[in-house]
Amino acid sequence: MAGRFLPGGHLAPDADFFDAGGTSVDAVELAAALDDELGVALDLDDIFADARPSSLARRCLPAAATGTATDTPAAA
């Protein structure tokens, strides 16, 4: 899903959203899309801390059951 907010339209699972051209506005739109389309309220701090799709997915999977993201620390 994150790739649709990038110039190239694609993002590898371990590529950083911001390094690939994403902006803070794109991150807000991504968070809104996750909430609207998947019912997952991911905190923007989580996106800014570790913006790799693989990391965001780990936060979203438990959140899909509850509607909120977990407090799993971001990978270094």
Q: Are 42 and 35 in contact (CB under 8 A)?
A: yes
Segments forming the whole domain that contains residue 20:
2-66
Residue 15 DSSP class: S
Q: Tell me, what CATH number does 40's domain have?
A: 1.10.1200.10
Q: What is the pTM of this model?
A: 0.74
Count CA within 13 A, CB hemisphere, residue 49.
Answer: 14
Nearest to 61 by CA among 29, 27, 38: 38
In this structure, is residue 57 part of a structural domain? yes
Instruction: Give the pLDDT confidence of 30-39 residue by residue, as tens digits.
Output: 999 989 998 8
Cα dihedral: 22, 23, 27, 29 (round 10):
-100
Instruction: Give the pLDDT confidence of 59-70 residue by residue, as tens digits.
Output: 877 655 555 554
In this structure, is residue 72 part of a structural domain? no
